[in-house]
Structure 1
Amino acid sequence: DAGYDLSGLLPRLQQRWQQAPQAAADTAPLAPTQRYDVLVVGGGAAGCAVTASLLRRNPQLRIALIEPREQHYYQPGWTLVGAGVFDRAQTERPMARCIPHGAQWLHAAVAGFEPEQQRVVLEDGNRVGYRALIVCPGLTLDWDGIDGLRQTLGKHGVTSNYQFELAPYTWQLVQNLRRGRALFTQPPMPIKCAGAPQKAMYLSCDWWQKQGVLKDIEVEFCSAGGVLFGVADFVPPLMQYVERYGARLNFNHTLTAVDGPGHKAWFRQVDAEGKASVVEKDFDFLHVVPPQRAPEFIRQSPLANADGWLEADHETLRHPRFGNIFSLGDVCAAPNAKTAAAVRKQAPVVAENVLAVLAGRGPRALYDGYGSCPLTVERGKVVLAEFGYGGKLLPTFPLDPTVPRRLAWELKVKLMPRIYFDLMLRGHEWLAAPKRLPHDPVPVDAPAACNFEQEKGK
């Protein structure tokens, strides 16, 4: 009556209202379905990089990339924004400039998946079909997972480098703090860039030390985990900086609530016997890293595992139950570090394996779990932690990776943003060639191997 056609939304509305049987929803009228060779969900680092890698291998592919946001962010740079090294504008570009040339940008959000029909459901109810699907929407920062946090973010000394708008506030707080208690938190794993919580601490302490005020600041690192860093080889050099800055390590401390105006924070502490208690801490400066999880439309989909992340074989990154669906980036359930460096190695693997499946063959490119965490331990020096599955060290350069180096700082500050925007997002796979099986596996019977021309004919 109001002049809007809601027929595409009818199945979802009926399910939500629970006023009609599921059979009625299944037979509701649907909008015409567009179909593509490859459909990519997510226009972040993973989505743009894998799309560009595909198009460099086969420019004739019909690819659509679904992404609702207008802006694209270089998130690894936000730690440096919070330390006064980068300007926030250096980490942002319009999404239109980042979508690879040759791909169609569907400016929309995804609501669900219909893998048996090879379709993705958009929030407006429309369906988009595919021969192969790549799912990489990133993860969700759960700011509401900590009581009182959302109401006090960006004021009362509470900040986070995990949000574009707040990183400059971190730098403002660091410059203004002269005495008191500074708390840095880390939530339970998995999180994106597991080293970022402590990188904020190191760079802040380095500044306070150079200003001669660190002796008057009580620094504490409160981590939900039981170790400083997940790869044991890098713990000794990091501990040298913890001691240098006089920081106190509080392991098995999970931030649960914040009172910004009262400058108080509460943590759930678990002792060696597994007994939990609540610890209250005052603060003058609080850098928070929120708990993180897969987006809701992933968690509630048939593609998710029991923990809500998108299922994937750890080597081929293919879904174990749907042979024409792949994932990479932060949403992927593979047990690798969730970093942009991991995406740089994952994108060629997924691109080659998607093309193999489209051709009716099995995947042969393998991902070794590579991830990199440039640990900025002070201004001018970085411990370049590069590792794969099981904590295996995978250094790019023939140097001891546990030694803090100025060369690694130059790489992170001067080269990595350009490598990210101008190379990785454009399909230039610098030092990223995937390992491959020696021979093509036996062809698999996957839905994506159907004849697309016959599909279009129908």
Structure 2
Amino acid sequence: MKAARLLRVTFSPARYQAYSSVSTAPVTDSGKKKHYPLVVIGGGAGGCSVAAKFCRKLGKGKVAVVEPAEYHYYQPMWTLVGSGVKTVDQSARSMETVLPQHCAWLKTRAVEFNPEKNIVHLENGDQLNYDFLVIAMGIQLNYDKVKGLLEALKTDPSVCSNYWRLTVEKTFPAIKNFKGGNAIFTFPNTPVKCAGAPQKIMYLAEEHWSKAGIRDKTNIMFNTSLGVIFGVKKYAERLLEIVKERHITVNFKRSLIEINPSKKEAIFQKLDEEGKTETYKYDFIHVTPPMSAPDVLRKCTSLIDPSGFMSVNKNTLQHTKYPNIFGIGDCTNVPTSKTAAAAAAQCGVLEKGLLDVMAGKTPDGKYDGYTSCPLLVGYNKCILAEFDFDGQPLETFPFDQGKRRRSMYHMKKDVIPEIYWNVMLKGHWNGPQTFRRLMHFGKGK
């Protein structure tokens, strides 16, 4: 906990003085109009962390969190759920226990933003006024964008997806009941959260089938919309070695557009040949769905960029048009991989920037794009990928993290979840930068 305290941004009385005239005023509630100095939209990793930080700084009842869900899920654990190592219950905590005690939890959802007037309209009919706003809405899963996929997930036990609470428990039974044939793993033609997850489950399934004695009856394919297996060259080279060793076929520039469960067929668009498709028979298929920023965010065109994601300064997380609005995590257009690790690193930068704005200053944060993706490549091996905006490795430990290691598997399985629940969500974790410098004797970033 001493290390956690070192990572906090100091909130001095001098910095707070410029904001004290509004932040110390009592929260007002007039009919269906409510006012809070700070409103946080979303109770995920970023939202909880930001709310925890600012509840300590602004005081009881000054921070509102808009989040309809009763449970908070540590979704990076779902690869382990899908591979039979963990359970869904182990990935869940009640929202009440992860949100800071002194926040006002509004158990509803945002349905409309009016940033010109500092208003958020809520599903329950309330109008929420704010002085400062943090949007931490995460990313939206669009299973309906693949024709036949929702039906297949309901009716075909060999179709599964680790990305959804309603389907993640289908994955391991599908792996166990697979008797051989074509096993397909997909990566969509959209941004996704945790870009390594679509292939992590593939390596775990391959190992399970090898131990079950059916590997020689199995044709494993990774059909990805990308032109590379992973976006960082160092780790891509190591993953290509693995797929070659395990005789896994990688089909690049292939985007799933339809599943026909009655025929056990999956249809892919060939992105490198306009108008062309390929049809594959499947006996098992794990689908990563298309994703986008949430619809309610995309409806407010002044908040988003042409891709539909929230437009923020990539270094400070401040909105490019509205200085009293910040964004964090998957809903933003920050050009780095969308992971909980990225949200942690962004949180410290956002904290400093928002405090600067509250004090009438210009944010000067320097988020470097840090993100992490623990690439599980087996039931006891992991490559811990860490990198920055430029796709350059930004590794915490003083050894080659591109090597498959048992220690990094236990880091992913046992250590990181504890940091998430007990440090990050309480607002005390801004990523491993301090520890990285210590590990490298002060050298590097």
Q: Which amino acid aligns with 2:68?
A: P
Partner of 1:336: 336
Unpaired stretches in structure 1, ≥5 consecutive residues: 1-29, 435-458
Q: What amino acid is aligned across from residue 290 of structure 2 in structure 1?
A: P
TM-score (norm 2): 0.88
Q: Tell me the amino acid that sits aligned with residue 374 of structure 2.
A: P
Measure the CA separation in 1 of the matches of 2:365 and 2:53: 13
Query: Is residue 297 of structure 2 the alignment partner of residue 298 of structure 1?
Result: yes
Distance 2:90 2:162 in 1: 15
Aligned residue in 2 for 1:238: 239
Query: How has the CA–CA distance of structure 1 residues 104 and 126 changed in structure 2, closer, same or farther, with 3 Å as cutoff?
Result: same
The whole-number CA distance in structure 2 between the counterparts of 1:80 and 1:57 is 36
2:309 aligns to what? 309
Shift of 1:334: 0.7
Establish whether residue 219 from structure 1 lines up as the match of residue 220 from structure 2: yes
Distance 1:96 1:265, change over 3 A: same
Residue of structure 2 equivalent to 1:399: 399
| Counterpart code for 2:319 | H
**Offset of 1:134 from its aligned partner?**
0.1
Q: Which amino acid aligns with 1:149?
A: L
Map of 2:177 onto structure 1: 176
1:269 is aligned with what amino acid? Answer: K
How far off is 1:125 after superposition? 3.2
1:430 positional shift: 5.9
1:426 Cα deviation after fit = 0.6
326-335 vs 345-354, which moves further: 345-354
Count of residue pairs the alignment pairs up: 403
Question: Is structure 2 residue 35 aligned with structure 1 residue 35?
Answer: yes
Deviation at 1:37, TM superposition (A): 1.4
Q: Deviations over 1:379-425 (max 9, x none)?
A: 11100000110102111111112111111111111111111111110
Give the equivalent residue in structure 2 for 1:20. Answer: none
Match of 2:275 in 1: 276
Is 2:82 the partner of 1:82? yes
- Contact kept, 8 Å, 1:46 with 1:343, in 2: the verdict is yes
Give distance in 1, aligned partners of 2:230 and 2:382: 15
Tell me, yes or no, if the aligned pair for 1:53 and 1:347 is still in contact at 8 Å. Answer: no
CA distance in 2, matches of 1:235, 1:116: 44
The answer to which of 107-116 and 285-294 deviates more is 107-116
Matching of residues 132-281 of structure 1 within 5 Å: 132-156=132-156, 157-271=158-272, 274-281=273-280
Distance in 1 of aligned mates of 2:246 and 2:212: 13
State whether residues 206 and 245 of structure 1, in contact with CA within 8 Å, keep that contact through their aligned partners in structure 2. no
Opposite residue 146 of structure 1, the aligned amino acid is: V
Asked if the contact 1:72–1:98 (Cα under 8 Å) also holds between the matched residues in 2, the reply is: yes
User: What is the CA distance between 1:110 and its match in structure 2?
Assistant: 0.5
3-state SS of the aligned residue for 2:269? strand
- Letter in structure 2 aligned against 1:328: I
Secondary structure at 1:39 match in 2: strand
Structure 2, unaligned runs of 5 or more: 1-29, 435-445
Amino acid across the alignment from 1:371: T
Contact 2:225 2:271 in 1 (8 A): no
| Cα distance in 2, alignment partners of residues 270 and 38 from structure 1 | 44
Query: Residue 165 of structure 1: CA displacement?
Result: 2.7
User: Which residues of 2 match residues 312-331 of structure 1 at below 5 A?
Assistant: 312-331=312-331
Q: How does 1:78-157 map to 2 (within 5 A)?
A: 78-156=78-156, 157=158
Could you tell me the TM-score, scaled by structure 1's length? 0.85
Show the counterpart of 1:289.
288
Q: Which amino acid counterpart does residue 166 of structure 1 have in structure 2?
A: T
| RMSD between aligned residues | 1.6
Indicate yes or no: 2:35 matched with 1:45: no
Provide closer, same or farther for how the CA distance between residues 351 and 338 of structure 1 changes in structure 2, counting only shifts above 3 A: same
